[in-house]
């Protein structure tokens, strides 16, 4: 059954209506500093199941739970000294921690995909923070797009993929960071990098005083964003291209890409490139057309560049 997907303004009335819909078990997309999330009450099994259904998301792929503050996180997950140090340094902000889940706290087991852990974060976007306070509970919130496709950084991107499948979109304008949160696993042993993202790995390692080890897998994901083919446009994607082939839509980076059709950042600014990444993927896909090809110029694999290259690598991976 198709729904009429409403667009809610970033006003008190819009927030009140979004909170009412969420409490009733409906799905509402919301902005964050990273990308738009598809929100549902993380305590309601039906709402969490509806998130998987609306996205076409495999139910073995866990969801991130968004919470208003560190005190709320501690009600749903077990925080050790490492988690508290990272929370003090980076929350509110684009960092997700995978922690042991408190069984008694009442989260739907669907958010954890059957595991004993839960992925949690405290978002920084002021509208999201107001929504969490108005709603008064935990919001499961994966990216608000069909599973495996390009993540949405504007309300219109959400409507392109999910109109008719969700109740509403809370329009907070373009997202500032543009790539999803960095995910760090602290449930057991050494801290693990489960997904690079909006907080550079180097900054996290500086707070912890130790390196992150690689964790998770596409076959048995312990956090979102680990599937091998993900963030994919319709067109084929080729990476590290300094001379595009005829017919390719070339997306440049830096000042040495004269003649590029589009650019992540003409000045080579990684922060600008991250903020524009998913919008450029969508625009390149539109220009390439059905059966087309997209070529991306090289991006340095440091700082935010690591997250950009991770997303581009998954966008270019063979499709299942």
Predicted TM-score (pTM) of the model is 0.82
Q: Are residues 146 and 54 in the same domain?
A: yes
Strand 293-296: give its sheet, edge to edge: 236-238, 293-296, 249-252, 262-263
Cα separation of 176 and 277, whole Å? 11
State the average pLDDT over residues 206-220. 81
Do the domain assignments include residue 62?
yes
Q: Does residue 251 sit in the same domain as residue 207? A: no
Give helix then strand counts, H and E, for the chain: 9, 15
**Considering just the CA atoms, what is the radius of gyration of the chain in Å?**
19
Domain range for 289: 236-316
pLDDT tens-digit map of 228-245: 555 678 899 999 999 999
Question: What pLDDT is attached to residue 219?
Answer: 53
Tell whether 40 and 70 lie within a shared domain.
yes
Residue 223 lies in a domain: no
Q: State whether 258 and 187 are in the same domain.
A: no
283 and 203, same domain (yes or no)? no
Mean predicted lDDT score pLDDT of the chain: 91
Model confidence band, residue 226 (pLDDT cutoffs 50, 70, 90): low
Q: Both 256 and 153 in a single domain?
A: no
Could you say which of 163, 181, 214 is where a domain stops?
A: 214
**Count of structural domains within the chain:** 2
Residue 166 is part of a domain; what is its CATH number?
3.90.870.10
- Whether residues 194 and 75 share a domain: the answer is yes
Percent of the chain with pLDDT over 70: 94
């Amino acid at each position: 059954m198709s729904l009429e997907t409403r667009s809610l303004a970033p006003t008190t009335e819009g927030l009140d209506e979004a909170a009412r819909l969420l409490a009733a078990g409906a799905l509402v997309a919301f902005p964050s500093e990273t990308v738009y999330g598809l929100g549902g009450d993380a305590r309601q099994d039906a709402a969490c199941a509806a998130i998987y259904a609306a996205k076409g998301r495999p139910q073995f792929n866990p969801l991130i739970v968004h919470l208003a503050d560190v005190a709320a996180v501690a009600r749903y997950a077990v925080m050790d000294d490492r988690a508290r140090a990272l929370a003090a340094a980076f929350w509110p902000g684009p960092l997700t921690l995978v922690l042991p889940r408190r069984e008694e706290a009442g989260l739907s087991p669907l958010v954890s995909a059957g595991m004993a852990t839960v992925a949690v974060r405290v978002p920084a976007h002021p509208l999201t923070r107001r929504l969490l306070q108005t709603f008064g509970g935990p919001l499961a919130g994966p990216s608000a797009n069909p599973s495996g496709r390009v993540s949405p950084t504007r309300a219109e991107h959400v409507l392109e993929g999910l109109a008719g499948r969700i109740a509403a979109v809370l329009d907070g304008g373009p997202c500032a960071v543009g790539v999803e949160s960095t995910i760090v696993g602290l449930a057991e042993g050494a801290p693990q990098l489960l997904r690079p993202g909006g907080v550079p790995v180097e900054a996290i390692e500086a707070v912890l005083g130790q390196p992150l080890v690689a964790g998770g897998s596409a076959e048995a994901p312990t956090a979102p964003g680990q599937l091998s083919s993900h963030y994919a446009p319709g067109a084929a994607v080729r990476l590290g291209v300094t001379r595009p082939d005829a017919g390719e839509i070339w997306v440049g980076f830096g000042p040495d890409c004269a003649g590029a059709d589009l650019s992540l950042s003409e000045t080579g600014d990684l922060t600008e490139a991250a903020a524009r990444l998913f919008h450029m993927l969508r625009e390149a896909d539109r220009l390439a057309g059905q059966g087309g090809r997209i070529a991306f110029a090289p991006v340095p694999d440091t700082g935010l560049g690591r997250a950009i290259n991770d997303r581009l690598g998954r966008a270019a991976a063979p499709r299942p």
